[in-house]
Amino acid sequence: MSVTDKSFIGSIPELYDRLMVPLIFEYCARDLAARAVALAPRSVLEVAAGTGVVTRALAAGLPADTRLVATDLNQPMLDQARKQLANAPHVIFRQADAQALPFDDAQFDVVLCQFGVMFFPDRAKAYREAKRVLKPGGHYLFNVWDRIEDNEFADEVTRALAPLFPSDPPRFLPRTPYGYHDPNAIRADLDAAAFETVSIAPLATLSNAPSPNDAAMAYCQGTPLRTEIEARGGSLEEATRIAAAAIARRFGHGAVSSRIRALVVTAK
């Protein structure tokens, strides 16, 4: 993992929340939150909460007296999440590293994480931290993206940008967000953290964008792929235009849809 893969700074949080969240995250967030709500927890910790798409779904689905703590390593992402939940004063926001959680043992009924574990440098350590703060019998819920080939917009953007930087193509998307999809590897990391039971289920749906440009802008400017493009001396506008053209050739020139596929993990 590159050191820039976890860099959600500048205008990225706002673009991420405005473009990426409706493009690929909302459906999966509702699914993950519903799984947590079904467990009827009295205390919930969200790690790598990002701009709060799962937090919002949890706040809407859980009783107001449920303890709900949302954490993220990146304060700018939490600041964006707090803006979206200004009318939910019962939600506690706290900057925290998932590998060194600032909570005592056995504090939460549920720990959950939406598309964040792929960014953890030491996943087994982060999983041990999740287990440590869970109460006996508690549940750890998270999701990850399946192969990039099964997530068509991301795959198309990656392929389109490669010729723009032939000697060093940007690899953020396949390396990190879409780089942790092997169920055997996931199970091995959770086994190393001493979780007792693990289930992994696929979740597939369609990703929809108003136009190819909206989809291209989401990936090229609303994620750390932006940092890779700029580090190579590339123009964000040119990269977005090239990615949009590739999406248009494959999916059409109006409103566009493509397949996305995730894996949902439940560990107890």
Domains present along the chain, CATH in parentheses: 3-148+175-206+261-267 (3.40.50.150)
Q: What is the pLDDT of residues 102-147, one digit of tens each?
A: 999 999 999 999 999 999 999 999 999 999 999 999 999 999 999 9
- Return the percentage of the chain with pLDDT > 70, whole number: 96
Query: Predicted confidence band at 3 (pLDDT cuts at 50, 70, 90)?
Result: very low
pLDDT digits over 172-190, tens only? 999 999 999 999 999 999 9
List pLDDT tens digits, range 37-73: 999 999 999 999 999 999 999 999 999 999 999 999 9
Whole-number average pLDDT of the chain: 94
List C-alpha distances in Å: 223 to 135, 188, 258: 34, 29, 19
Enclosing H/E stretch for 142:
strand 134-145
R_g of the chain computed on alpha carbons:
18
